[in-house]
Every structure is written in C-alpha cells, then in structure tokens.
C-alpha cells in the first residue's frame, strides 16, 4: 500500500522516483493540448508540485474540471521537469478527485487584501502568505519551547480562570455560570457571587506571572506559554483580546540576568525561524516587508542596546526631535518615544531599564535610589514594546508597603506574600507577547493577521 508523501519532502528528493502518492488542493490549473498542468499544494510548504495529467487518464474529463481549491490525490512518477521553474514534477498515472470546488470559491489566483482575507479567516490559511505565516507561527512556538527546555527551564501550566485580579493589568473578562437574565442579589442589592460557580468572582487570566513566580521559587527556572485575555477596548494593530504570552521566571536572578535571557531568547527564536522557515521568510521579505531578512540577521548578529530610563529621557531631550509628548523624567513612555529609540536612534532592539516606580507595577523591585524600580522593557523597531519584565521585589516588608501604597488589599495577596515569607530569594522574569514576536519575525503589520482566528473588540467571528 503506497503511503502519502508530503510535498515538502518530495521537493527535497535527490533523484526521480517511480511511484509516489501526493494529496492536496489545486492552486491553479493550465490546459495544454494533450494534457493539463495541475499545481498542487498540501500546506507542508510554500511551494506547489506540478502535476502532469495526460488525456489518457480514464477520468480526464473530470480532471479538466479541477478548479482552484479542489482536493485530490495523485499517484504517479516523480520525474525531472521539462519546464524551467521547478526541478521535479509528477506525471500522474491515477488521479482521485475528492471534491471539486464550485466557482464561488472565495480565493482567486491573485493577491487579496488582508482586510478581505480577514472576512474569510477560515479559508485564508490556504493562501501563500497566510500558509507561510502559520507555518512560521508553529515553528516559532517550537523554538520557544526548545530554547527554554535546552536551558533547563520547566514548562508550567498556570490557570486560565483566575480568582484574583493579579497586577491589575487591564480589564478582565468575567467568567460566570449565573443566569444573566435573573441575577441573584444580596441584601444590599449587589450581585451575589457566593452563588456563582466558584463561590466568588472569577475572570480569565491577564497574566500567569504571580502563579509562575511560585513555581520558580520551587523548581528554579520556569516558563509559561499560554493564552491570555484582556478586555481592554483597544483598537490597534498591536492588541487583541485573546493572545498568547510567554512568561519565564528565574529564581536567584536579577534584572541583568533577566535582560540577558530576553535578548538570548529573541535571538535564538529569530535564528531558528531564519534557518527553518527560509522559503516562508523569503516570501515575507519579498512581499510583506522588504529588507526583513537583513533586519532579522541584524537582530541575530548584533547586541541589543541597553540604557536606563533616565538615559532614554536624556537622549530624547537632546535629540532635537519634536515629540508630541515632551520627554521628562517621570512620564510613561509613549509610542512615539519607543519608536524613536528603536527605529531612529539605535536602529535595533533596545532594552530600557530602571523606570520610575510610580509608573510600574507593585511587584517590581525597588532600586537603592528609592525612586526607580528594576523593570525592563524590550523595544523593537516597527512594534514598540515586545517584552516587559522586572526583578521582583523579594523583601517582604517592602512588598507589603508597596501593596498598601497602591491601594491594594493585602489579604488578596496573602498566598503571594507567603513566597516572601518562607525562603524568599531574588528572582526575575518577563512577559513576551507571542503575536508581537510573530509580527517582528514575519513583518506582518497587524496582530489580526498573525493569529488564526483573532478576537478584538466587536469581532468574534469563526
């Protein structure tokens, strides 16, 4: 029984083969006098295989109806091609047609706009560009696991449903089984969550960090890689309501170890994709972001710039650049500032650290100057903030005071504080938006186009 060979493997063949079985979808078909050229793609790689269907085939009349999008199986010989553009082609002995796509197949043999393809997100992976994007997405996520695994990091599954509001990192989606048409109320007229599934309010996670810290303080080095949810009404090319985040956490590590890890990880992943998705990346370099490969090679080969927040403010003040928001110590960095630093000033990724404590989260470690925290952001050209991390505050008293200063309830974080109570150690970690790294690696400019079925405000189709 002849087994199916994937096209990616077939195209790497050294020599012709007498009998192969290929299954896939028709990209396009061209008729010649006594035969038909069928371009077949099976998703295993960007390239198609050209099939010669001679009119001697017993179902040649059916073969001539094979339209773009139709599915089929071809049994035949892999031979050297007489045409110019490909090394091998298949001369079919037998063609089994699974399904003929009707003439209203929405994907034509031409370029479509990303906006149109978003309306057919269920079919867009069949296009060259999206097929490439989602092969890269798979390979990039493998690279992340490989990077951490090779360094002895443990993969931890932090909860998707959470009862705590963590760092207050944005609006959360509520998870409930209460009847929305008939909500149980307490005596003072508020919703009675004690009758809800968990007996209290529950939400989708906005970060696995606090849970991740607990495991780092037990297993040493850990990372999470899973879905994250933000109910922010953000309408930008860089935000989605559901996205994937990578959050490593290292025990016995400081902010400098954290920056090293972030830089090494980005370089490793970019290099992995350059080496393992060459054809796909070349497509992006050609049609999506000219100069992409040079940009990625620059990231792999050159170090990231590293500056403090104070230095960043100083650079911007002296730059002569006309910023809408004037750079001054204490301000939150705006998109224009991030882009200036990464794109104009350094022209490569830049890591900014030691931010004013007022603009950062409660768990970030207070520096000795008393006014900055050991936080770091990795800013990359074209995207802005891709990574946000910090050394965590490991001193119990300082952390408790910070919780109070920020108006948070100490009792909500008692389990978290336990880690500072029992054998606390310096530790550090960061969060990386997976889709943002996808945008960096592919050059694709919209987050909606690097996630299979994007969820954004007012949009949850498919």
Partner RNA sequence: UCCGGCUUAGCUCAGCGGUAGAGCAAUCGGCUGUUAACCGAUCGGUCGCCUGUUCGAAUCAGGCAGCCGGAGCCA
Closest CB to RNA among residues 276, 336: 336
- Rounded to an integer, what distance in angstroms lies between the CA atom of residue 269 and that of residue 139? 9
Of the two residues 100 and 183, which places its CB atom closer to RNA in the complex? 100
From 178-186, 269-277, 421-429, 453-461, span contacting RNA (CB under 7 A): 453-461
Q: Mapped to the 3 state alphabet, what secondary structure does 1-45 carry?
A: CCCECCHHHHCCCCCCEEEEEEEEEEEEEEECCCEEEEEEECCCC
Candidates 235, 279, 398, 410: give the one binding RNA (CB under 7 A): 235
Q: Could you give the angle at the alpha carbon of 321 between the alpha carbons of 319 and 326, nearest 5°?
A: 95
CA nearest 253: which of 222, 226, 224? 222
- What minimum distance in Å lies between the beta carbon of 215 and RNA? 19
CA gap 311, 256 in Å, rounded = 17
Q: Is 334 in the site for RNA (CB under 7 A)?
A: yes
Q: Is the CB of 28 or the CB of 195 nearer to RNA?
A: 28
Residue ranges in 338-367 that form contacts with RNA under rule CB under 7 A: 338-339
Task: Dig out the tokens for 4 from the structure.
Answer: 């199916």
Region of 28-36, 261-269, 303-311, 401-409 interacting with RNA (CB under 7 A): 28-36
Nearer to RNA, 193 or 292 (CB): 292
Binding to RNA (CB under 7 A): which residues in 248-267? none
Stretch that binds RNA, among 130-138, 180-188, 272-280, 427-435 (CB under 7 A): 427-435
Whole-number Å distance between alpha carbons of 269 and 264:
9
**Binding segment for RNA among 6-14, 215-223, 341-349, 446-454 (CB under 7 A)?**
446-454
Cβ proximity to RNA: between 122 and 185 the closer is 122
- C-alpha closest to that of 125 among 452, 460, 461: 452
Asked if 106 touches RNA (CB under 7 A), the answer is: yes
Question: Nearer to RNA by C-beta: 239 or 272?
Answer: 239
- Using CB under 7 A, which residues numbered 361 to 400 contact RNA? 384-388
Shortest distance in whole angstroms from residue 186 CB to RNA: 29
Compute the least distance from the CB of residue 458 to RNA, in Å: 5
Cα–Cα distance measured from residue 54 to residue 385, given in angstroms and rounded to the nearest whole number: 55
150: how many CB neighbours lie within 10 A of its CB?
9
Of the residues 4, 12, 13, 31, which one makes contact with RNA according to CB under 7 A: 31
Contacts of 30 (CB under 8 A, 6+ apart): 36, 37
The residues near 33 (Cβ < 8 Å, ≥ 6 apart) are: none
- Beta-carbon count within 10 A of 407 CB: 8
Min dist CB 1 to RNA, Å, is 28
In the bound state with RNA, the residue whose beta carbon lies nearer, of 302 and 335, is: 335
Q: Which residues pair with 162 in a beta bridge?
A: 203
Q: How far apart are CA 58 and CA 324, in angstroms?
A: 71
Q: Between 159 and 457, whose beta carbon lies closer to RNA? A: 457
Does 169 contact RNA by CB under 7 A? yes
The binder of RNA chosen from 103, 181, 188, 328 (CB under 7 A): 103
Give the one residue of 10, 52, 281, 373 binding RNA; rule: CB under 7 A.
Answer: 52
CA distance 377 to 30: 52
CB 424, min distance to RNA, A: 23
What stretch of H or E contains 175? strand 174-175
- Cβ–Cβ < 8 Å for 7, 25: no
- Work out which of 17, 37, 201, 220 binds RNA, going by CB under 7 A: 37
* Cβ 376 to RNA shortest distance, Å: 11
Q: What is the nearest approach in angstroms of RNA to the Cβ of residue 32? A: 4
Please, what is the Cα angle at 408 between 404 and 411, to 5 degrees? 90
Q: At what angle do helices 396-405 and 414-421 cross, to 10 degrees?
A: 150
The reply on whether position 286 binds RNA by CB under 7 A is no
Residues 54-73 contacting RNA, CB under 7 A:
67-68
Listed ranges 131-139, 189-197, 238-246, 277-285: which one lies at the site for RNA (CB under 7 A): 238-246
Site for RNA in 193-212 (CB under 7 A): 207
The CB-side HSE value for 46 (13 A sphere, CA atoms) comes to 16
Question: Applying CB under 7 A, which of residues 56, 59, 138, 237 lies at the interface with RNA?
Answer: 237
Nearer to RNA, 216 or 240 (CB): 240
User: Would you tell me how many other CB atoms lie within 10 Å of the CB of residue 115?
Assistant: 10
């Amino acid at each position: 029984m002849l087994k199916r060979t994937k096209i990616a493997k077939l195209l790497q063949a050294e020599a012709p083969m007498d009998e192969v079985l290929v299954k896939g979808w028709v990209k396009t078909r061209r008729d010649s006098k006594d035969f038909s050229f069928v371009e077949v793609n099976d998703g295993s790689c960007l390239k198609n295989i050209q099939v010669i269907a001679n009119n001697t085939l017993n179902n040649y009349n059916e073969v001539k109806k094979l339209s773009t999008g139709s599915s089929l199986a071809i049994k035949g010989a892999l031979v050297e091609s007489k045409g110019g553009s490909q090394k091998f082609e298949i001369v079919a002995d037998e063609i089994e047609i699974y399904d003929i796509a009707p003439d209203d197949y929405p994907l034509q043999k031409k370029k479509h706009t990303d906006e149109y393809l978003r309306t057919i997100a269920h079919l867009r992976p069949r296009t060259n560009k999206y097929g490439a994007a989602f092969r890269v997405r798979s390979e990039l996520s493998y690279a992340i696991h490989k990077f951490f695994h090779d360094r002895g990091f443990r993969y931890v599954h932090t909860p998707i449903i959470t009862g705590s509001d963590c760092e207050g990192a944005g609006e959360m989606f509520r998870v409930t089984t209460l009847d929305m048409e008939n909500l149980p109320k307490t005596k003072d007229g508020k919703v009675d969550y004690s009758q809800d599934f968990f007996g209290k309010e529950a939400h989708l996670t906005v970060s696995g960090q606090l849970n991740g810290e607990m495991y780092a303080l037990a297993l040493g080095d850990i990372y999470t890689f899973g879905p994250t949810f933000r109910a922010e009404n953000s309408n930008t090319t860089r935000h989605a309501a559901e996205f994937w985040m990578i959050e490593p956490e290292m025990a016995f590590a400081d902010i400098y170890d954290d920056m090293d890890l972030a830089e090494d990880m980005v370089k490793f992943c970019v290099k992995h994709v350059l080496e393992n998705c060459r054809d796909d990346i070349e497509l992006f370099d050609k049609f999506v972001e000219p100069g992409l490969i040079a940009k990625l090679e620059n990231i792999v080969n050159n170090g990231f710039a590293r500056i403090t927040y104070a230095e960043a403010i100083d650079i911007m003040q002296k730059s002569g650049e006309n910023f809408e928001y004037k750079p001054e110590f204490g301000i939150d960095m705006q998109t224009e500032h991030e882009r200036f630093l990464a794109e104009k000033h350094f022209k490569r990724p830049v890591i900014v650290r030691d931010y004013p404590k007022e603009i950062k989260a409660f768990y970030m470690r207070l520096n000795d100057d008393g006014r900055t925290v050991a936080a770091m952001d990795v800013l990359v050209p074209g995207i802005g903030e891709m990574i946000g991390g910090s050394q965590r505050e490991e001193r119990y008293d300082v952390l408790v005071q910070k919780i109070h200063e920020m108006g948070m309830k100490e009792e909500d974080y008692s389990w978290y504080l336990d880690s500072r109570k029992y054998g606390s150690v310096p530790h550090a970690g960061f969060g990386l938006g997976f889709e943002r790294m996808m945008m960096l690696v592919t050059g694709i400019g919209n987050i909606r186009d690097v996630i299979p079925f994007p969820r954004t405000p007012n949009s949850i189709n498919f």
